[in-house]
Homo-oligomer: A and B are copies of this chain.
């Protein structure tokens, strides 16, 4: 059995989700999101994200973590802000020596829906189906559960 922490970074609202995976069986453990105050200084916003993720790790003791490979945004400032948040989000499992696995966004769609071209809403629907009716707290934590499910999928069904 592995306990997987899925992570969906963003400066404004970082999603997280924890699942247990044993062979092809998945079990929902917890999910949530970390909203930060747009008016707060950058270092305070990043501290809140990092501190909260450390609390999540200490509460649920995940053994592996997963996150999407960063995508190139049309807006360079958005890419910079996302990457700064991603650094802090990646740091949390790093500080607890939890191995982190990175997946392309198309792999998440493939793992959840069966095709790399799936719509975002199809991914959200499949999160609920695959986790037996769980209602994620919001879209960010749903995305985090999706990336956790993706890691469970490719662990048991390795694909090139």
Contacts and interface: CB of A to CB of B under 8 A. Distances in A.
A85 B84 CA distance: 7
Interface residues of A, number: 30
Secondary structure at chain A's binding surface: helix, strand, loop or mixed? helix
B84 A43 contact: no
Interface string A23-48: 00000000000000000011110110
A79 to B, nearest CB: 6
Contacts of A99: 41, 43
Interface in A44-89: 44, 46-47, 50-51, 70, 72, 76, 79-88
Interface of A: 41-44, 46-47, 50-51, 70, 72, 76, 79-88, 90-91, 93-95, 98-100, 102
